Amino acid sequence: MSITTEIDLGTDIKENLEMILTENQKLASQVDFSQIAEIIPYIQNADRIFVVGAGRTGLALKAAAMRLMHLGLTVFVIGETTTPAIRKGDLLIAASGSGTTSSIVKAAEKSVSAEAKVVSISTTKESPLAALSNHVAILPAAQKQDHGATISKQYAGSLFEQSVLLLTDAIIQTLWKLDGTPAEELWKRHANLE
C-alpha cells in the first residue's frame, strides 16, 4: 500500500471516525428502546446465558458476555470448548443482521428444542432466526450485503456490528444500575490471569 500525498491521512481518518459516530447516532435515534428494554427480564430470569454471533458480531457478543460475567451472571460463548449443553431455564442471545446465518439459526433451533428462551438482535423480523425467537430486538442498520450505501457508508455490516457492541454495553449499564453492586465488587470478577 503506497501512501499518497494527495490525501491527508490524519484528516481522512478523523472524517471517517466522525462519519461512523454520526451513523451510530442516527441509528440510536431510530431504535425502539422499549423493544430493547424487553431483553432485560429475559436476562434477569435466565439460569444461564449463552451468546452466539458470527464474525465481528460474535466478537461484540463475546465482549457482552464478559461484562455479564462481571455482573455475576453465568455466561457461555457458543463455540468455546468449555460451553455446556443449553437446557430449559437458559437464555440464548443471538445476533445476526440477516437472521439467516446458518450456524446461528442452528444454535437457535437447538435452544428451542431444549426449551431454552431465545432473544435475537437483528435488522429484520422476517427471518428464520426471528421465527425461532421469543423476542427480536431490531437495529435499523445495513445488512452485510447492502452495498448501496443507503443506510451506511461503511463496509459490509460494520454499522450493525458496532451497534450490537454499543447496545449490549447500554443494556449492561442498565443491569448494573438495577443490581447496584459497587464497581469494586465487580472488579473482583475481572480476569487476573492476563
Q: Annotated catalytic sites, by residue?
A: 161
- Of 117, 97, 99, 129, which Cα lies nearest the Cα of 38? 117
The three cell numbers locating residue 152? 451506511
Detail the DSSP E strand segments found in the chain: 49-53, 75-77, 91-95, 117-122, 135-138
Measured in Å, how far apart are the chain's first and last C-alpha atoms? 34
Q: What are phi and psi for residue 118, nearest 5 degrees? A: -130, 125
What is the DSSP secondary structure assignment for residue 180, as one 8-state letter? -
Calpha distance 34→193 (Å, rounded): 38
